[in-house]
Structure 1
């Protein structure tokens, strides 16, 4: 996704389109503290980017142009889930890297006999139609090159790197474009007179290993267009849960209920991140004598609601009230019967 968090905010606040939007807490209101989560392309023209101290934006962007927006990760997760739905229309071989980035293997796909470029175009346009946000994609033969390709023509770009073009493409790239090459490594490479992919290609593998160990080998392989890591699709989890052992043990009901509320919120966050709903709540309790029970309750309707998870867990605990009297050594909540919403397959060109 292109400048994802900032783009979501500009979509929801069109009057910010021409402003330098920085998603971060305003450091002028937080004693100079704060880190930039992301910045839109207007802000980037002033040299402002993600992971920088927020004060840099204050120093580098004209005051009348700068807008700070506190991050709203709940909203970003919801939009990310929409994007993942569209990817899963095409294939379940999706490796999510973050809320705004994923690798997709379309060797086999759900929509038919279409090229990877056609599938990329389909997803790009469907994402824009659904979310009103732009994304960029790269099509090539391995993950490392796909990432570089997706960054190459941002925003709203598409880049195809054929196997026979890879070495020439990489040769022209500045070393800062290579994933995994941070500022300190850049400085060391430049001190070795290595500034481009071509310079990396001319440097012996052993020289890079001697200087950078394992990362040197990876960089040598990447500069030669080699990356053997597969797309690792996340397997469907059978359950999601939280538990904790207490020392000293819990002897008060309210302390136990506080833990159940905390678990319910945390489990809900994990469900939302994976776009899953749960159909069963499971309570696990162990007393000071290490006697352990598990109790479960099926829900009438699958949910991501922390209040429902908490209410069901509480009801299960109240049926075992003698545990509180004896002392709770371990308390846990999990959810099972997980399900990802199924979406209708769409004709590839129906939204083009």
Structure 2
């Protein structure tokens, strides 16, 4: 993970993923044609022949990289993403191509995981490019059905730093809220914004800092609230106040299980991909925690999509920040705890069928 000073020279990268027909092409077409003052290299990451956008982007299939009238560049990857990224960086370094940032579009139902891992695994890439965020486009009208049918689409939601919902005007508010609630359960750390691709602010898509460790760990309050009322009531729920945004508990503080009269409008879809949060006001024993997280990543790495946390460690007067994608985990020291704040840990794990109780009990055993 890079120090802040190096970030200025790094080329930021946005991974754009999402449901077929949700409007990624419309968005890309705008990026590639309208004047927005940024020189962007768009990489179409192709897996196979089903690419529908070819006529739009690359007229001549022999030509790998096409320069466009608005200063953007477009290229289609038929082979290796790493090779393409290195090629683009080399052309940029020798003055052959000018671009400020990269957008990688993964086609259709591709899993964004391997694309993200590229930026942490390959040294040349990690020295040149900074992965800014994964943006997933969800179709409001067909989103529910796609999530039901395609586990890959759940994975795209789980990986996202930002979820853009298109076609909201085609559904009623109750359907939109149901979709939103489902997206929050799969991924409580991504911001969710309805968009009109005719007029989305392109700037707003480009500096998200989703992989920046120091970026705030935001967890959707709706998720925390449903978790507090959940019947998976673990011990760590007892001491999680002082977040600055307390949630309404029932008067008598009971955790309500199913059928307790609180309708949280979850017709629960049993999604394979989901999230949970671990919180504690007690400090972790650093060595035990490191050992436990190392073991968890070995065992559950393939099923972990994104995980991120702000950690309170014994004997260290500043917060530790950590995050991971699949098997790759990084940590670095963050800001000192202020005298006015109570140090606490907040971690969010997003993955496929993760055993919440194993994680929770394991983490509780790492508390000092």
TM interval, short-chain normalised: under 0.3
What TM-score do the two structures reach when normalised by structure 1?
A: 0.23
What TM-score do the two structures reach when normalised by structure 2?
A: 0.22
Structure of greater Rg: 1
